[in-house]
Amino acid sequence: MAAVSGSLMAIQGTFNSVLGKVIGLLEGTFSVHLLGTITAGLLLLCFGNGSFAKFSSVPWFAWLGGPIGVAIIFGVAYSIPRLGVGVATTAIIGAQLLTAYLIDHFGLFGMEHITFGLYKFLGIVLIVIGSKMLLN
């Protein structure tokens, strides 16, 4: 599922950049979220089994996912036409990995602490080298 999501992210970014070029970046970002809201609403109606009654028990920072999502959609749609899908995606993945490992290592936002050891460090070094090769 994670690999499929990764592929869909590259496709989505491409589609969003086309949308942004045609109707404008902010208008495209709004449209993507509006259509996403409609889609999520339909999925919720058909398959939802959670509880909105638990809103008050959600940590405050978890609500930042919405505004961060807007920044992501805007940033990707802005970057792809300027850098190309490959370069933009390389930068996105590099930043995602760095951030993800910081969250894991420090157990941020209530996540389980997962130590960042030597092998993970060497893996990141190889990814950075590969990214540099892709960006040249």
pLDDT tens digits for 26-83?
Answer: 999 999 999 999 999 999 999 999 998 998 999 999 999 999 999 999 999 999 999 9
pLDDT of residue 3: 85
- Its pTM stands at 0.83
pLDDT tens per residue across span 79-95 = 999 999 998 998 898 89
Give the residue-averaged pLDDT of 121-131: 89
User: Among residues of the chain, what percentage have pLDDT more than 90?
Assistant: 70
In this structure, what DSSP letter does residue 61 have? G
CB neighbours of 3 closer than 8 A, spacing ≥ 6?
none
